[in-house]
Amino acid sequence: MKTFDHYDARSIDEALGLLGKHRGKARLNAGGTDLLGLLKDRVLPQYPELIVNIKTIPGLDYIEEDGERLRIGALARLCDLAGSRLLQERYGVICEAALAVAGPQIRNVATIGGNLCQDVRCWYYRYPAHLGGGMLCARKGRGPCFAVKGDNRYHAVIGAGKCFAVCPSDLAVALAALDGHMTLVSHRGERRVGVGDFFSPLRNVLEADEFVKEIDVPKASVPRLQRFLKFTLRKPIDFAVVSVAAVTEVKDGIYSDARIVIGGVAPGPFRAGKAEEELIGCEPGDAVAAQAAEAALEGARPLSKNAWKIEVARALIKRTVYR
């Protein structure tokens, strides 16, 4: 690892000041479970000269409801989410997704903000420099996308542009299914971005001088069925090949609302609007679950080796929406 300066920030303002002063050469560090791996393997085209520790900022790890919304501070850890009584009772899909991340050691330090901002896992992008990697590709600002002609079995089947890497965050999928939003702050002020809109094919929308302060989700007015399922190759500690979060409401025996979001298939959490349309107005059951699954990834354009992910997504959708 190259050397860098390290600073314990005591407030968001102090962290923002350092990001501004070092213009693109400072990085925020929360749990460090993603960032330190990137630095050790020299994955990033530009190595930071300053690491700003934000875990030292007090009061940013809350999980609470106010009149309208559930609010989660960016420094809430994944173990806090999984163990929160409030989330277990009313926002179960967040707990399920948090528990599906890695193993206990990582969940004990990783934060929700870091989980949403973590970098992609494309094996070309992550190929460590000391093993002959450090490859420049479209995502790093120079070079081709190696996945297009290469081994793309885990890459995106829909919504990709110049980069086919998929969003690795399990929390993003669950939060998008709950219509979650993120509050980003900088010296220019605050802006709110939908979790689903935070990701784009080449990078997320976070500017180099911005800080994720909070994630919020609308409060549910009626009970909902919430489910998160994830398909992995290895059972413990593995990223999703495909995941699905479904949040549905049934009124008088009919689906009255549905949000279905698929992870692992696109640069961000992919909202399966066509699947939702199949459900709304119908009685829950096998047949409608199968129709929703069939419709979910209409328009997908798989690469040479990843069409199988569409079948996995269909199987997960049937299981998440079937009652």
Q: Is the Cβ–Cβ distance between 255 and 248 less than 8 Å?
A: yes
Rounded to the nearest whole angstrom, what is the least distance from the CB of residue 202 to ligand SF4 in the complex? 8
Q: Quick count: other Cβ atoms within 10 Å of Cβ 300? A: 18
In three-state secondary structure terms, 112 is helix
Q: Applying CB under 6 A, which of residues 124, 156, 159, 169 lies at the interface with ligand FAD?
A: 169
Please, which residue, 74 or 242, has the CB nearer to ligand FAD?
Answer: 74
Q: Applying CB under 6 A, which of residues 93, 117, 176, 262 lies at the interface with ligand FAD?
A: 117
72: tokens are 């989660």
Angstrom distance (rounded) from CA 65 to CA 86: 9
Sole residue written with tokens 């070079």: 143
Q: Is the Cβ–Cβ distance between 71 and 155 less than 8 Å?
A: no
217 binds, among ligand SF4, ligand FAD, none (CB under 5 to 8 A by kind): none
- Of residues 92 through 131, those in contact with ligand SF4 by CB under 6 A are 120, 122, 124-125
The greatest distance separating any two alpha carbons of the chain, rounded to the nearest whole angstrom, comes to 62
113 binds ligand FAD (CB under 6 A): yes
- Of residues 69 through 98, those in contact with ligand FAD by CB under 6 A are 74
Rounded to the nearest whole angstrom, what is the least distance from the CB of residue 87 to ligand FAD in the complex? 16
30 binds ligand FAD (CB under 6 A): yes
184: tokens are 């980003």
Rounded to the nearest whole angstrom, what is the least distance from the CB of residue 275 to ligand SF4 in the complex? 26
211 binds ligand SF4 (CB under 6 A): no
61: tokens are 């790890």
166 binds ligand SF4 (CB under 6 A): no
Rounded to the nearest whole angstrom, what is the least distance from the CB of residue 113 to ligand FAD in the complex? 3
204 binds ligand FAD (CB under 6 A): no
84 binds, among ligand SF4, ligand FAD, none (CB under 5 to 8 A by kind): none
Sole residue written with tokens 């690892």: 1
CA 256 from centre of chain: 27
138 binds ligand SF4 (CB under 6 A): yes
**Rg of the chain taking only CA atoms, in angstroms:** 20
- Residue length, the chain? 323
